[in-house]
Amino acid sequence: MIVLGIVLIILNVGIVFYNRLVYCENKVEESLSGIDVSLARRYDLLNNLQETVKGQCTYEKETLLQLVNLRKNMSIEEKSALNQSYEKIQNHWIALSESYPDLKANEGFIQLQKALVECENHIQASRRFYNANVSIYNQKISSFPYVLFASICSLEKKAYFIATEQEKETVKIEVE
């Protein structure tokens, strides 16, 4: 009877610790979806930006850059790289607009720039949220007693979402 009681207590404690780990993992997944939403939004905005620029700068059609959309099952490293490529494309068009006063004054273009700044703020927030959850999760699976469950369930440390150089500082785009 006593042995059964001890086994039940150990089992209960095990379930509690395991559930905490699952909760942390779910938080990481939840925050990852936030990154996906922000990246998809940035893709749409950049597409619109390209269309606007194309309409205004006829000589620049050949320089249209290839935007890669977010795919399912992309790893976090691939998403980081995708975000960095979006930043390069965005900087390219913003720099180009400097040579076209009409474009800079275009209401649609100004609105798109504002939306992109807002979108970058959301990406920064989702990156920080994701990385904070990954940090908690990684610390958990490295510490006792969670490390036992992590080895039994083959749980591994998760990768961080790497910030772009621009995100490490502040958003630099200036909207007039």
Partner 1 sequence: MVDCHDCFYSDDLISGSLLGKYFIRSDVKIQDVRRSGKTTTVVTTFEGPWIVIDFDKRFKHYTVVKEKEFLDNGKPGGWYSGKKVDKIELEDMRFNRKFVVFSEDGQEAFYLLTPPVMEKIMELEQRTEGRLYLGFIEGKLHIALDNNQNAFEPSLFEPVNDEALERSKAEIDWIKELVMLVDELD
Residue of 48, 56, 84, 121 interacting with partner 1 (CB under 8 A): 121
**Selected binder of partner 1 within 50, 80, 97, 131 (CB under 8 A):** 131
Question: Looking at 52, 124, 164, 166, which residue binds partner 1 (CB under 8 A)?
Answer: 124
**Phi-psi domain of 163 (left: phi exceeds 0; alpha: psi -120 through 50; beta: other):** beta
Q: How far is the CB of 99 from partner 1 (least distance, A)?
A: 32
Residue with tokens 């998809």: 40
Q: Pick the closer one to partner 1 by CB: 104 or 122.
A: 122
- Buried/exposed 81-100: b ≥16 CB within 10 Å, e otherwise: ebbbbbbebbeebbeebeeb
Rounded distance between C-alpha atoms, residue 7 and residue 134, angstroms: 32
Selected range binding partner 1 among 1-9, 44-52, 126-134, 156-164, rule: CB under 8 A:
126-134
By CB under 8 A, name the one of 10, 40, 132, 148 that touches partner 1: 132
Residue 91, φ and ψ in degrees, nearest 5: -60, -35
166 is an interface residue for partner 1 by CB under 8 A: no
Map residue 84 onto helix, strand or coil: helix
Footprint of partner 1 on this chain (CB under 8 A)? 27, 30-31, 34, 121-122, 124-126, 128-129, 131-133, 135-136
